[in-house]
Amino acid sequence: MSAALLRKEWREHRGALILLNVLFGVLGALLVLNEARYATHGTLMEVLKIPAVMLSTAAALFVAHRLVTREYGQRTQLFLESLPLSRASILATKLLLGGGVLLLPLVLTGLALWSRARLHEDLSARFLLILGLRAATPVLLGWMFCALAGLIGRYRNPLFLLLFLALFAADRLTDFDLTRVGPTVLLGSDFAFERQHFPWAALGLCWAAILGMAAVCFGLVLHRDGTLAELLSQRMSHREKVFIACICVGLVVVISVMDAAKQRQPFTLHDAEQALAVGSPVQVSSGVGFSREDAARLATRLANDLGALSRYLGLERLPAVAVMPIRELDADVFQRAELENADGVVVRANLADPAFDVRDFEAFLFQQVLIWTSKGQVLREERRWWLDGFTAWWARRDEEDPRLSPRVAVASRDDFDPRAWLTTRERVGPCLAGALAARGITVLRSQLDEEAFHSLARQLLAWPPGTGVTGRLSEPRLEDLLRARGLGSESELFTRWRTAASQDRAVHAALLEALSRLHPSLHVVAESQETFRLEHRLRGEGNTPAGRYALLSQNLGPFTAEVAPYALSRQDAVGAEDAVILPQGLARGERWLFVMQQERPELGCPVRLVAERREIP
């Protein structure tokens, strides 16, 4: 450590470092003042995670640029080396200063939080020590990494890129899970929850990495009398830029190819009844109320129908399909499982429920299979109605479904926009949305001969999926396909579709009249400055009984798009004058999806009376 060098660094960087501390001071103050919004695990100290994340990333990068990268970039380290000062002490001074500068805002924020939290929380010294270690270690790790990157000079940006690619490749190609190692464990969901046990494994890993990177830093600075670090700090030549760009592009290609070539084993459901659909297994397991014979029958049926779908659309191959019975789901709610290490489509449904409708289930399963075969391309919003409609129609292609018309009537009662299908889907629910889309398919089918419709379906649902921009550009557009078949524009199709739906509404006017007599309402009521409750109520007009209904709710993340029905929490209630209170409290700034729905036996579907997203004011 050199006091003179410390003074120089302070003089050179004081503006930036003061600004950094002021920014974090403001951030800390905002966090403390808005504690309720951020502290969801019962302690205000959880807020410390936010500055820890910022200091270990953006701030560490900033400080490393100021203290390390600039020194070598301007070649002023040559001047320092001519002074009576060793290279090791220069680096040690910078590393300690940088660490101190980054830890200072963390400590100050921690102290501010502690002074506030201790008034109404029991904060043991052990808990504070655990918390301090969990917050400070990632900051030091981030700082050491950024300092090392600074010493790597012109190769630091390629290093960041390669690190990102390596993590991406590890995530895609191996069982490595970034959320379960080192700093992500320390700043994980139990950050302020764990009060007794030190996360020694993660701490040990991080400190080993910190010490390792510090050793590499000293190695770089001292190796060949610092000429290596000096060499690395020089500007990149054009040839190097081209070379590194080629390496990066090559790596991206290799990772993509390896990822595409990676053959995950088809999912195997042990002790399940199995049938084959075009060579792919369809497995159905038995369960309580769902015998092996039932499972075998369902497996055979699904295999036959999937085989027919595959032949009709010309699918190259089908995924392994597994179906598991689960009693906890509603009969009309189906759930697809996420598979990490195996390949296939695994779905769960309440197969034993008397209200379980195998046709609706098949429509859902066909959707999942088409999503799998198209690698998700069919999920794009502009063609999503095609997926919903075709699968609903295909599942009932051999029979006249008496419930289709009333379903369409109810689903279209507030008009709809096929181009904003996800909005329509959330508003009416997947069951009615499927029926409404199926009406669009029947309208289209009525205007085309079998062969034309068949080719249209193949092009829209079984087109070999492209990826990225090329896939987007090369995929067939519905507008073009319709014009090629002399059906006019997409808008004209939608007009005909709306006309057909209005005819359904005319037929089922009584049902719509009955629904219009129901008056749902949702009110967010303040309980304190920061907390709120939801009151919901369903009233019938005049003497019309409101009946039973369910309130479904989900606290939304910042980027939540579609919410699966099984992810919604459910509260059953009876319509009355008095409001019902949602047991779960709401906090200021949260975003929620609230759905009020009522089962209608004549539809075999729940009718969504209200579906709206709300931000708690």
Of 1, 7, 111, 337, the one binding other proteins by CB under 8 A: 7
Task: By CB under 8 A, tell whether 16 contacts other proteins.
Answer: no
Q: Which among 7-15, 341-349, 467-475, 599-607 is the span making contact with other proteins, rule CB under 8 A?
A: 7-15
Closest to other proteins by CB, 9 or 388: 9
Contacts with other proteins by CB under 8 A: the residue count is 22
Closest to other proteins by CB, 5 or 534: 5
Q: Where would I find the H helices in 47-198? A: 49-54, 60-64, 70-73, 77-81, 87-117, 125-151, 156-173, 182-186
The total of other beta-carbon atoms located within 10 Å of residue 134's CB is 26
- 424-433 in b/e form (b: 16+ CB < 10 A) is bbbbbbbbbb
Least distance CB 69 / other proteins (angstroms) = 15
Q: Scan for tokens 């990676």, then name that residue.
A: 262
Least distance CB 235 / other proteins (angstroms) = 15
Closest to other proteins by CB, 15 or 617: 15
- Give just the sign of the alpha carbon dihedral 572, 577, 581, 587: positive
Closest to other proteins by CB, 88 or 254: 88
Using CB under 8 A as the criterion, what x/- string covers residues 19-58 for binding other proteins?
A: ----------------------------------------
Q: What residues contact residue 254 under an 8 Å CB cut-off, 6+ apart?
A: none
- Give just the sign of the alpha carbon dihedral 287, 288, 293, 294: negative
Closest to other proteins by CB, 40 or 86: 86
Q: Which among 3-11, 260-268, 273-281, 499-507 is the span making contact with other proteins, rule CB under 8 A?
A: 3-11
**Distance from C-alpha of 388 to C-alpha of 132, rounded to nearest angstrom:** 51
Task: By CB under 8 A, tell whether 4 contacts other proteins.
Answer: yes
Residues 374-413 that bind other proteins (CB under 8 A): none
Q: Report which residue type is found at 408.
A: V
Least distance CB 417 / other proteins (angstroms) = 60
Contact 102, 143 (CB under 8 A): yes
Q: Is 449 left (phi over 0), alpha (psi -120 to 50) or beta?
A: beta
**Distance from C-alpha of 539 to C-alpha of 544, rounded to nearest angstrom:** 8
- 491-529 in b/e form (b: 16+ CB < 10 A) is eebbebbbebbeebbeebeebbeebeebebebebeeeee
DSSP string, 187-247: TSTTTTT--S---HHHHHHHHHHHHHHHHHHHHHHHGGGGHHHHHHTSPPPHHHHHHHHHH
Least distance CB 72 / other proteins (angstroms) = 11
Using CB under 8 A as the criterion, what x/- string covers residues 82-101 for binding other proteins?
A: xxxxx--x------------
Which helix or strand (DSSP H or E) is residue 539 part of? strand 531-540
Least distance CB 6 / other proteins (angstroms) = 9
Closest to other proteins by CB, 84 or 558: 84
Closest to other proteins by CB, 219 or 545: 219
Residues 567-596 that bind other proteins (CB under 8 A): none
**Distance from C-alpha of 291 to C-alpha of 304, rounded to nearest angstrom:** 20
Residues 158-217 that bind other proteins (CB under 8 A): none
Closest to other proteins by CB, 2 or 459: 2
Q: What residues contact residue 423 under an 8 Å CB cut-off, 6+ apart?
A: 417
Closest to other proteins by CB, 72 or 532: 72
Using CB under 8 A as the criterion, what x/- string covers residues 66-85 for binding other proteins?
A: --------xxx-xx-xxxxx
Least distance CB 146 / other proteins (angstroms) = 22
Least distance CB 88 / other proteins (angstroms) = 10
Closest to other proteins by CB, 11 or 120: 11
Q: Phi/psi of residue 266, each to 5°? A: -60, 145
Closest to other proteins by CB, 10 or 193: 10
Q: Where would I find the H helices in 475-547? A: 478-484, 490-507, 509-516
**Distance from C-alpha of 394 to C-alpha of 80, rounded to nearest angstrom:** 77
Q: What order do you get walking across the sheet with 321-325 strand by strand?
A: 273-277, 280-284, 321-325, 345-349, 335-336
Task: By CB under 8 A, tell whether 503 contacts other proteins.
Answer: no
Closest to other proteins by CB, 96 or 574: 96
Least distance CB 226 / other proteins (angstroms) = 8
Task: Report how far Cα 522 is from the mean position of its chain's Cα atoms.
Answer: 27
Task: By CB under 8 A, tell whether 489 contacts other proteins.
Answer: no
Task: By CB under 8 A, tell whether 11 contacts other proteins.
Answer: yes
Residues 224-263 that bind other proteins (CB under 8 A): 225, 227
Q: Phi/psi of residue 193, each to 5°? A: -100, -35
Least distance CB 220 / other proteins (angstroms) = 16
Residue 586 β-bridge partners: 532
Residues that bind other proteins (CB under 8 A): 2-5, 7-8, 11-12, 74-76, 78-79, 81-86, 89, 225, 227
